[in-house]
Amino acid sequence: MAQKFMSMQNLKFTLATRDSRFREGDILNGHTPKTVDMVFKAARDIAKNIMHPMFEEMDRNPPQLDKGTVRVHPGVRPMLETLGTDGWIAAPFPDAWDGEDMPDSLLHCINFIFATANYSAAVYAGLTMGAAKLLLSFGSESLQERFLPKMLSGRWQGTMALTEPEAGTSLGDLVTCAAPVDGKDGVYRILGEKIFISAGDHDAVDNVVHLMLARIEGATPGVKGISLFAVPKLREDGKGGLEPNDVTVTQVFHKLGYRGAPITGLRLGEKGDCLGWLVGEPHRGLSYMFQMMNGARLEVGMGATAIATAAYHAALDYCRGRHQGRPVTAPKGFEPVPIIRHADVRRMLLLQRAVTEGSLSLILHCGMYEDILAKNSEAKDCHLLLELLTPVAKTYPSEMGIQSTSAAIQCFGGYGYCDDFPVEQHFRDMRIHPIHEGTTGIQAMDLLGRKLTMENGRALRLLRQEIEDAIAKAKAVAKEADAGDRLTVMADDLSKTIAQVETTAMTLGGVAMEKGPEAFLSDATLFLEMFGIMAIAWQWLTMATAATQNLSTGKPKKKEKAFLEGKIHTARYFFAYELPKTIALETTLNKSGQMTLDVPDTCFTD
């Protein structure tokens, strides 16, 4: 299997194209290009030497439930020990927890490196990091001291336990309950069932700590009555050891892809002896969990981006080496050419590059907002922009990543459909992402129903200003670099698309007033698709502008020159092939009449 699963040059370029705010106020916490290079190289070494060699094996030999314990690939334990010992899990934490306050932008890059090598392997540490952040933000000092050292060392796994058999997306319906234990402040007996818990149990760690939503007895029905608890698989026995905490694994789900990490069902309190420790204040669990969920949504987007990136590089290598067919104008006897010479193959490669590199750019832009907020929690504009773009950064890579990995398979032809090459696994691994951390439909309703209306539409106005700044810079660079009309035309096309999106949003607002919220949200997924294309076009204009500027003001070497020209060509592809799709979406959104609401159930007959 090819070892090249990503381009470090592209990752560094994308990080460097963030605007000047990235360099103001030491947003990167003292990191310089040199130290960033060192961090990336160390991460790539782990990805290449530890994670990637297990990529195929973890898929072919998925976790198994054996006498109540989930057995995973034997390489997972040493991997987690390395990530813990070398400080990767603790990286974003403060010095008090042996961390280095790594900014989110760099953390996203590291997650990208790991996930391109082996998505299933990468999620173990990512889940623990997210759960540990939640404890650091809202847990008491005693809870932090109880759990964080072992979680950050890689010896204990962290999870997010929300979903129940009858309460998936609708968390207000969850029934897992918590009863206070007499004489033990903040300790509760937990009773209930959870399903689809990523890394919910496995033998690569000594314990698993579930950050779990449950309802305290007598709490208000719905989401306002939900609290957050830390529920370990094993609890301290008072003698320096651990004892079972009445957490039983009921099953390991057998999945289409993403097979290397277990997804489990859990039963809690079957013997009446499952203890959970309250995190923060009662009845505020869902608001706390949203911190982890919002971060997880960006991680899902980055995971999808990483998988599609790995598939793209596998396809690219194959297309360069596979000789088949000839140009239609070739004379008789002409030798077969590498299939990368065929226009339709180039189209498929350009689609993959447009999706993956555009997605990476958008997520790192969100990371910039996260880092600015970490330095200045009063930066309300960045907060609004991050809120607005999170559902887009989660969904566009997830949905378009499926098309991108499908195109990678197509590049291989029949070989791509077989397990001789990695792209069939990438395709299977990809499919979970539109479901994880809120389905596409949920993200769409969040964007249209909540995010666009925040502060009377201020978030969208702020985004318009961000995009207009990028448009102005593109036009200025086009003029200075004598780049012809390419940048200017792309900038003008993006300006028209913003107007399309705003007009469509106003039209849908009219639907809300005339027909009510159900009609307003009925086509929200199409609006999210339209909005996502606009956001990625913004990122491609930004990258094309930077590439043009670098070509005109510097003296790039041959390889770098080809890379920068490739950026410009891919931007041209996106604006010519992908951006026009917003026109069709606008037409549908304006003329659908919300017809799906009127279709009777009886029309869906066998």
Active site residues: 437
* Burial of residue 271, with CB atoms counted within 10 A of its CB: 0-12 exposed, 13-18 middle, 19 or more buried: exposed
CA separation for the pair 479, 52 (Å, rounded):
45
400 and 577 Cβ atoms separated by less than 8 Å: no
What DSSP string runs through 504-531?
A: HHHHHHHHHHHH-HHHHHTTHHHHHHHH
CB 211 within 8 A of CB 292: yes
- Comparing CA positions, the residue from 174, 167, 127 lying closest to residue 151 is 127
C-alpha–C-alpha distance, residues 154 and 169, integer Å:
30
C-alpha distance from residue 487 to each of 137, 209, 357, 470, 547 (Å): 44, 51, 18, 11, 11
* Token pair listed for 363: 């997520």
Helix (H, G, I), strand (E, B) or coil at 144: helix
Contacts of residue 453, Cβ cutoff 8 Å, sequence gap at least 6 = none
Buried-exposed string 53-85: b where 16+ CB fall within 10 A, e elsewhere: bbbeebbeebbebeeeebbbbebbbebbeebbe
CB 258 within 8 A of CB 119: yes
Instruction: Assess contact for 163 and 194: CB atoms under 8 A.
Output: yes
Q: How far apart are CA 140 and CA 186, in angstroms?
A: 10
Give the DSSP letter of residue 335: P
Q: Which amino acid is at 481?
A: A
**What is the total residue count of the chain?**
606
Question: Tokens for 85?
Answer: 């010992």
Rounded Cα gap, residues 215 and 177, in angstroms:
5
The C-alpha angle with vertex 236 and arms to 234 and 239, in degrees rounded to 5, equals 135
Q: Are 290 and 387 in contact (CB under 8 A)?
A: no
CB 58 within 8 Å of CB 73: yes
Tokens of 221: 């029905």
> Rounded to an integer, what distance in angstroms lies between the CA atom of residue 376 and that of residue 180?
38
* Tokens (6 digits) for 558: 């041959």
Residue that is written with structure tokens 């927890």 in the block: 97
- What count of other Cβ atoms lies within 10 Å of the Cβ of residue 144? 18
Q: By the 8 A CB rule, do 231 and 276 touch?
A: yes
**Residue among 417, 506, 499 nearest 464 (CA):** 499
CA 294 to chain centre: 10
Q: Which secondary structure element, helix H or strand E, spans residue 410, and what is its range? A: helix 380-412
